[in-house]
Amino acid sequence: LPEIALAGRSNVGKSSLINRLLNRRKLAHTSGKPGKTQTINFYRVNDRFYLADMPGYGFARVSKAVKAAWGRMIEHYLTSRKELRGIVHVIDLRHPPTADDRQMYDWLKHIGLPAIVVATKADKISRGRWQKHLKQVREGLSLRSGDPLILFSAQNGQGRDELWRAIQEWL
Ligand code: GDP
């Protein structure tokens, strides 16, 4: 089956996004201990594809050795997996992308993987400020005008349909 992988800083809201996307209340375990999950979790979706939840990056309180092991595992997966169709890259709408976010995005582009950027936690920003924050994400990652960027909220489901459509196009 084809695979779609999810990338994002730890605690950015990846698990919540998965739960919302699949309309599950508790499937991906949310929050608790950031940086804890060090393996890729695969969720089989409607016998059609796998969502591959990659461990969150950028968690400060892990050792250099753990970070290096993380990097090797992710790199191996992203560069060699034949089933992989694209990456959903989750960013926190509230803040400018971090150096880690930028590095991840640049690297995805570098290895030629299609990526959709999803700016989540939209419900935490008032509607009138969305455009300003989206611009901040676009500029922070140096997105080009055609690069997809989806406004999302795991809390209220905003952007869910748009993300589904984008995923369907990869399958
Ligand atoms: P992960 O570490 O990337 O899997 O992040 P989680 O999904 O565990 O989310 C981290 C925290 O952010 C949790 O407290 C979530 O409830 C919260 N969160 C995640 N997504 C949203 C969202 O869209 N809106 C709001 N208000 N909170 C969110």
CA of residue 120 to ligand 1 center, whole Å: 9
Q: Is 58 in the pocket of ligand 1 (CB under 6 A)?
A: no
Percent of the chain at pLDDT > 70 equals 91
d(CA 15, CA 34): 11
Q: Is 19 in the pocket of ligand 1 (CB under 6 A)?
A: no
Ligand 1 atom 13 nearest Cα: 31
Q: Is 8 in the pocket of ligand 1 (CB under 6 A)?
A: yes
CA of residue 13 to ligand 1 center, whole Å: 4
Pairing of strands 41-45, 49-53: antiparallel
Beta bridge partners of 88: 6, 116
What band does 25 get if pLDDT is binned at 50, 70 and 90? Answer: low
- What integer best gives the mean pLDDT of the chain? 90
- Residue 147 tokens read as 């690069």
The domain segmentation of the chain, as residue ranges, is 3-170
CA of residue 31 to ligand 1 center, whole Å: 7
Question: Per-residue pLDDT tens for 152-167?
Answer: 999 999 999 999 999 9
Decide: 154 and 17 in contact? Cβ < 8 Å.
Answer: yes
pLDDT of residue 27: 57
Question: Per-residue pLDDT tens for 49-93?
Answer: 999 999 888 776 677 887 788 888 889 999 999 999 999 999 999
| Statement: residue 29 has pLDDT above 80 | no
| Statement: residue 24 has pLDDT above 60 | yes
CB-count burial class (<10 Å; 0-12, 13-18, 19+) for 63:
exposed
pLDDT of residue 14: 93
Q: CATH assignment of 3-170, given 3.40.1280.30, 3.40.50.300, 3.40.50.150, 3.40.50.2000?
A: 3.40.50.300
Q: Is 159 in the pocket of ligand 1 (CB under 6 A)?
A: no
- Residue 104 tokens read as 């991840």
